[in-house]
Amino acid sequence: MDVMKNVPSVQVDIDGNVTLRNSSPTSRRRAPTSLTLDQIPADASRAWRLLPTPAPNTNASGGTSGILNIVLKKNRKAGYNGNVRAGVDQRGRINGGGDINVKQGKFNVFANGFIGQRKSISPGTTTGIRSTTTALRTVFTRATTMSIRATLSSAGSASIICWTPQYISFSGNLVHGHFNPYTNSDLYVDTLYPGNTQSSYTRRLSTSTGDFRNHGGMLSYKHTFPKSGEELTADVNYSKGTNTIIT
């Protein structure tokens, strides 16, 4: 999220929703996903590529919204490989994960897991003036929105080379998270009557809690022909996500 906020023409809100030129780009982790930026584990990612003007064969929505391509880390060495990662952010939230890769002959299996926390703070102020037939009212609002999220993510893939010109692979992911945003607002109101001014102060606290779940998978097939540059590919994608908020 911190990196994407500094990319020109990209806007990221406190909930991790991304817009590119006022449209939502397609997010891809091998297959399109409905996850927001805040729900995708950063430490399991090898590269984030933004395609503002994707090629016609990428099937971006409307052809103008673009594609945000997230490339996950993957160990391609033969045998058994794995690693473990851990970290902490500037607000004391922890994260950690690990992955393992098994490659023997024509079979390759890869899996990773991630657990992380994130705390976002967004302060802001607004001022408004309202006029009626009897009074002039000035409203000044100072609000701080804080969102705390915890995410558990896992992903895996399996590849099988049936014989030389053909290749079959399957990949899937499962994400579960919990978030607890709340907003603390200070509301100042000055009402100007002829010859008299009345002031009031109100503190407002609003809280909510919610969960999000996402799971999906992709089955891919590839056949290469003897002539250079000729190949046949087919993909089947499945993705389902839910987002529940309790106020």
pLDDT in tens, 138-185: 888 888 888 887 888 777 777 766 666 788 888 888 888 888 888 889
Prediction pTM value: 0.56
- pLDDT score for 32: 58
For residue 61, what pLDDT is reported? 47
Q: What is the pLDDT, as a whole number, of residue 76?
A: 55
- Rounded Cα gap, residues 45 and 114, in angstroms: 11
| C-alpha dist (Å) from residue 160 to 105, 122, 170 | 9, 47, 9
205 with 182: CB under 8 angstroms? yes
- Report the share of the chain in percent with pLDDT over 70: 79
DSSP secondary structure string, 75-97? ---SEEEEEEEEEE-TTS-EEEE
Nearest-angstrom CA–CA distance, 149 and 35: 14
**Helix or strand run (H / E) with residue 229:** none
Please give the full DSSP string across 29-47, using - where no structure is assigned: ESEEE---GGGS-STTEEE
Low-confidence ranges of the chain (pLDDT < 70): 14-16, 22, 25-44, 53-65, 72-78, 160-164, 247
